[in-house]
Structure 1
Amino acid sequence: MDLRIFTEPQQGATYDTLLTVAKATEDLGFDAFFRSDHYLRMGSADGLPGPTDAWITLAGLARETKRIRLGTLMTAGTFRLPGVLAVQVAQVDQMSGGRVELGLGAGWFEEEHKAYGIPFPKEKFARLEEQLEIVTGLWATEIGQTYSHDGKHYQLTDSPALPKPAQTKVPVLIGGHGATRTPRLAAQYADEFNIPFASIEDSERQFGRVRAAAERAGRKGGDLVYSSALVVCVGKDDAEVARRAAAIGRDVDELKANGLAGSPAEVVDKIGRYEAIGASRIYLQCLDLADLDHLEIISSQVQSQLS
């Protein structure tokens, strides 16, 4: 079971804070550091000092880390033109020595689009499908050849399809709860399918849909990595769990029901139940980025017990 650290910087974090967490992620033996791609805070957080850009952040971290994978859950398709995104991700992959992964979604948070003057089109899912085709098509085009795309939403003519990523294949993550279109897109384009903040029962159902869609598309269901994203709140005792829950404005019982919360033994047990339904990777949503002791206890008392 891979454990990855997943952050939400729009809630309030500087680049230096993210660098500190990423270095702790690496030092403590976690598999990867991922971040959301948002420009506006959510809920009661003040969001200070303001948002950081996902791919600028990852470019910096690419030069300041050595081992961990780096990526997004999820890059909003509404934020970047697909050709530009392909260039950005390829460059950051080169900067990291081939450690980047691209999570790409349709974009959903209308208020952040209004706040920063970003168009919020109605046909986001159709655009996402074209974006996936373009980004992966650009990377797959052989050097010396050109790439063209004549779609409803995007047109590319004789693109040199450069630069190329350092990796032969940048892993592409697709995720969500949709019952039909999402599994179909994952089957066609994804190396990994991620379901965020879902129960074991709902996760098992969605993994099954994706496996079935993959087989219909001529792939083996097991060709994809299946992963979950869950908020994490671990403590050595009830008091420490309660303190960490209060720091992120959440209720302990709610976290235990909907996330990974409680003692290390409780969290290991619940991770095992996700593993039993096919998840081989968990993204641990860490909301208090100042609490590095939280990462340490997860590393020493949770991760150490997982195969």
Structure 2
Amino acid sequence: MDLEAVRTFVAAADGGRFQDAAAELSVTQQAVSKRIATLEKTLDARLFIRTARGAKLTIDGQAFLPHARDLLRAAERAVASVRPGRRALRIDVIGRRLAPAALLRDFHRAHPESELDVVTLFDVDAAVEAIRSGTIDASFRAVTMPGRQLPDDIGAVRVHDEPIQLLVGPDHDLAAARTVTFAELVGYRIWMPGIVPGTEWAAYYDALAAAFALTIEVTGPDFGAEPLLDALASSRSLATFVGERTHLVWPADHGLRRIPVRDPAPVYPHSLLWHRDNRHPVLDALRDHFRSGRSARSVAGPTWTPSWA
């Protein structure tokens, strides 16, 4: 369908006269009439009735008008999608309750004029593929996993080391501790049913368990955060790991405790990934935000991350 004819139809409908549409579009009235006639032929429908006062929409014209406006809006979005300065930065986060989403909120508070389109992809492989295909502009991920390297056209910078905390119920043996060490966690059942083999977070927790002889279980179906929190609240031995900036809400009577792990403190390495050819101005602002150290957080004492991070 000829979008110029559609745009002319909308201008004539809004103005009520072909003359007004011609003035708005900077064309002749004859050109307006020709475009409308072409559109009517394409649709096999009459759109206007010419009257002494101008042009009045027919029933078919009234029915077509909202769709014509949708077509023009879709065309504008299509054009904006390839003009980085005019579209939102499309960025992937691992989860909307997790630290990368919080990092983006911090950035947006500092840059409220920046438009963001936030999506969640499954893992680092899906994120890299989406970046390379242009589906997204950037992603927050932990890289690189053992045996995998990022393609040369993907840029990456470590932007945030997030402390990992122990989460336990009020009756757990360690519930009263202000901090815990890995030696104190040996022998306890740490349940993380949301871990998916082959993902970057699975690689992280596999390395953590191996380094400190921990028992991290992924058995059982993953019904989401709420059932896990319910199980923790009523257990004396069950625990899980959560990121410091993971947003969790539980009933007050659950009495769950977040306990920092120390000596060393495990930190999850979040990196920002992007295509090296991407020139979106908000992407530049986002990288500058992290270079300035505004997302940095210092952890007292020694820290631990996998050797591959």
* TM-score, length of structure 1 as denominator length: 0.25
Q: RCO (CA 8 Å, sep 6+): is it higher in 1 or 2? A: 2
* TM-score, length of structure 2 as denominator length: 0.25
Higher share of residues assigned helix = 1
Compare CA radii of gyration and give the structure with the larger one.
Answer: 2
